[in-house]
Chain A
């Protein structure tokens, strides 16, 4: 009977493979989770992979904005992430959501920055007495 691999171990392996340029590891991970009936851990594994990548100097950040980020804005955001996380490389996963109205929402492993206009309006409404 095969020994059950820990989630962190799997995440570390995937992170190493991704940094080595082996994108097929994602398919292997999916097959592994299906085979071991651990599909419920998908979200957790993905987060662990992000943590492992961050430990290796690569930060995957989710950026949501009302409009597609311009190259200049992407550069600003990347510089900010590198400075705040001491990362060597930054991967941005951009998402456009018009409901945000303006600004951006930045999700990093372990931290979040929400400067969208929608968030500010929500905070404004929360100041009701």
Chain B
């Protein structure tokens, strides 16, 4: 048997059960009182601020969660609104495009009608002007012909008319006068 066993056997024999288990009950009481004091101190001065911090933190987290939920809800609502707005905007855009197409077609048709009418007017004016020019040219030609005929007659008759022909002209003129 070793020395340790010998000591154990001796203590068991001399002391009670606590001692045999290595517990000093005095020290145990002291430590219990100290622990209670420690707990009291913790409950009195340390725990409230910590609990308050925890509570605040939890409250903030809950508020943040709530805000996030609300934000998500709002985002969802906004998304729906955006979708509705986009749908409405698309519909309006389609209407606008259709209206613009109709107006453009109407404008094109009106422009074509105006252009056609203007072209007809220009054509009619051109025809009128051509007719006037033709009449003026005919008049000018007529007048120039008269001048040329008169001039040629003067030149030719003055040199070629014989006495006999002149007498015949006179006789015919007298006959016509009678």
Contacts and interface: CB of A to CB of B under 8 A. Distances in A.
A117 B169 contact: yes
Interface of B: 139, 142-143, 146-147, 149-150, 153-154, 157-158, 161, 163, 165-167, 169-171, 173-174, 176-178
A101 B177 contact: no
B173 A103 contact: yes
Interface of A: 65-67, 69-70, 72-73, 76-77, 80, 83-84, 98, 101-104, 113, 115, 117-118, 121, 124-125, 127-129
B170 A65 contact: yes
A128 B142 contact: yes
Nearest to B135: A129
Contacts of B169: 102-103, 115, 117
A129 B166 contact: no
A101 B170 contact: no
Given A66-B161, A101-B154, A124-B149, A80 B142 contact: no
B38 to A, nearest CB: 142
Contacts of A70: 163, 167
